With several copies, the nearest count.
Chain A
């Protein structure tokens, strides 16, 4: 039997709105396979996003889905999770949404170690608004607001999240959907805040301006640099800078999860009442 994606999809909404070859579709697929792996029921899953191409994902997923305001998905998700700690809450958004305007909610959700999985489709650009540079656009790359090449150093999202206290941090890339799905599954499974960056392609807005207008060009450019963490660690500094590690980058299983802590307080107060 072929894998049945449609349990988790709103079939009538397809084909989706994304450009031919856009990596977001690959991410969506990997999410579905991870849901299926864990046998999560659609009714028990909330998927929350901000604004952007990536943030249109929830609309295609058969789940409790919420397309919020730009950058604020984590805060809505926090409210959902606090009120229903028994449910699975996943955030998916773009690099701009997550790390530009949404950076604060992202790092605070990580700090609290609240049991959300935050997936960032990092295509190094503001796709939806027409290709302005994002906090992850490489130095020198062209963008709508970087006509002379981007002048701003970029975030290493994984480092940022580790610094913020996230207890599960992984990186996948669009060239390897199978690994992506596995990392999603591990992140979903992790009790606490999990963050998975997917290095992705926006050939339309990033690629077109940077000689990679074809999706496969970009996907290959990404795949060529993606290096398993162990191997990457053994590289010299120059090679490290040219490549990026993929896989589980950080995993701390011993930190208390926030809604657990809170509900323990409720239980304690109930007892003492």
Chain B
């Protein structure tokens, strides 16, 4: 919930515009995209903004190429972004996996729509959240952020870029059609009033060899872009610290574990959960993104009816805030999970709860968002 000073310079923007504006504010200077409803305005606005800021926009021939161009630009030093929706997100997955493997910082926006397949292109859903975690083949960690308000979207877009840079990896920003096309007020913070991070650079002595995956000083290998004289190599094959392929089982196993660890060990800067009336809650509501806004209304209404409901709203949904869910589950009598899909994060909630707590699912698909009334009903059922 964000309140705006009457005198503030409030922009009445669609969520997709917010993402584009915030990306440029975060230093994004490359966008490779391919239009798809309901994300297209992100691309259109980047096409408008970037050349004005000396950055490069390109509309690629498809989403696969868009993802490829983003990683290429990233390795050449760009802060790069792409934006898409369900079908395009599915297509990007192979190259996203490449991004994880070569540890290329970048931001991937998915403005979720109804699915599977072409589904309901102009209607919202929150049904790509498990895909965001598990979509590409092989083991990997995921960072995915799902803001709920435009002001938050602005700040979280910046944070997505910062996390991508700090952890040297792709970061996923999940919106949905509700937010992408919703116009509401946002007050862009002044440049300089927020942090901007760049990927860590190594402290090389003169003439010292640069190893693109050198982890002597921590799990996040420092980065020097192409064309700075280090002539380094990288590949989607498993590689050692030099970036060249290896099939040594121990090296590969260690490296894959490191890439997962670099996320799990940095949860302090990744995790973000918002709580709403949760302190004394007896009925725990779990919801995220646009649906969480309905959940906030439902929680307020429940309280008005004397039910002590409270909301846990993860902003970072991957890595999943399992410890917080566990604690919340211990605190409350029962839980309500409201998500605009047919059951995805509820599995994680159940897993994290670790015991047989009644978990009421308020799930839905079909294009019309979950209403406060539907969540309230769920709350009342388990109250």
How many chain A residues touch B (Cβ–Cβ < 8 Å)? Answer: 57
Contact pattern, A 67-95, Cβ under 8 Å of B = 1, otherwise 0? 11111101111111011100100000000
Q: Does B60 contact A (CB under 8 A)?
A: yes
Nearest chain B CB to A105's CB is how many angstroms away?
5
Q: Output the residue of B58, B67, B234 with the most chain A CB within 10 A.
A: B58
List CB contacts (< 8 Å) of B1-59 with chain A: 29-30, 32-37, 40, 43-44, 47-48, 51-52, 54, 56-59
Nearest chain A CB to B235's CB is how many angstroms away?
4
Contact A79 B68 (CB under 8 A): yes
Provide the bound-state CA to CA distance between A63 and B63, in Å.
28
Find A79's partner among B37, B71, B236 (CB 8 Å cutoff). Answer: B71
Contact B29 A100 (CB under 8 A): no
Answer whether A132 and B35 are a contact pair too, CB < 8 Å, given A66-B75, A80-B72, A82-B69: yes
Contact B32 A79 (CB under 8 A): yes
Nearest chain A CB to B183's CB is how many angstroms away?
16
Nearest chain A CB to B109's CB is how many angstroms away?
15
Provide the bound-state CA to CA distance between A62 and B244, in Å.
13
Q: Does B359 contact A (CB under 8 A)?
A: no
Q: Does A243 contact B (CB under 8 A)?
A: no
List CB contacts (< 8 Å) of A39-87 with chain B: 42-44, 46, 48, 51, 58-59, 62-72, 74-80, 82-84, 87
Nearest chain B CB to A41's CB is how many angstroms away?
9
Nearest chain A CB to B260's CB is how many angstroms away?
21
Contact A76 B69 (CB under 8 A): yes
Q: Does A213 contact B (CB under 8 A)?
A: no
Answer whether A66 and B72 are a contact pair too, CB < 8 Å, given A84-B77, A108-B61: yes
Which chain B residues lie closer than 8 Å to A43 at the CB level?
Answer: 227-231
Contact B94 A67 (CB under 8 A): no
How many chain B residues touch A (Cβ–Cβ < 8 Å)? Answer: 60
Answer whether A100 and B61 are a contact pair too, CB < 8 Å, given A68-B68, A144-B40: yes
Interface of A is mostly: mixed
Q: Does B237 contact A (CB under 8 A)?
A: yes
Find B68's partner among A75, A130, A145 (CB 8 Å cutoff). Answer: A75
Contact B65 A72 (CB under 8 A): yes
Q: Does B169 contact A (CB under 8 A)?
A: no
Find A72's partner among B64, B77, B228 (CB 8 Å cutoff). Answer: B64
Contact pattern, A 100-111, Cβ under 8 Å of B = 1, otherwise 0? 110111001000
Nearest residue (CB) in B for A150 is: B59
Answer whether A108 and B226 are a contact pair too, CB < 8 Å, given A62-B231, A262-B51: no
Find A130's partner among B35, B59, B65, B69 (CB 8 Å cutoff). Answer: B35
Provide the bound-state CA to CA distance between A64 and B212, in Å.
12
Which chain A residues lie closer than 8 Å to B52 at the CB level?
Answer: 269, 273
Nearest chain A CB to B101's CB is how many angstroms away?
10
Provide the bound-state CA to CA distance between A186 and B11, in Å.
52
Contact B62 A71 (CB under 8 A): yes
Q: Does A265 contact B (CB under 8 A)?
A: yes
Provide the bound-state CA to CA distance between A67 and B101, in Å.
12
Contact A67 B235 (CB under 8 A): yes
Q: Does B87 contact A (CB under 8 A)?
A: yes
Which chain A residues lie closer than 8 Å to B58 at the CB level?
Answer: 78-79, 82
Contact B29 A104 (CB under 8 A): no
List CB contacts (< 8 Å) of B293-312 with chain A: none
Q: Does B111 contact A (CB under 8 A)?
A: no
List CB contacts (< 8 Å) of A108-144 with chain B: 108, 126, 128-130, 132-133, 135, 144
Closest 8 CB pairs of A and B: A79-B72, A75-B68, A79-B69, A76-B72, A75-B65, A79-B73, A67-B235, A64-B226
Q: What are 6 contact pairs spanning A and B, CB under 8 A?
A: A69-B118, A79-B72, A79-B74, A82-B32, A82-B56, A132-B43
13 extra interface residue pairs, beta carbon distance < 8 Å, beyond A83-B77, A270-B54: A42-B231, A43-B229, A59-B233, A66-B234, A69-B98, A70-B36, A75-B32, A79-B71, A84-B227, A87-B76, A132-B43, A132-B44, A145-B47
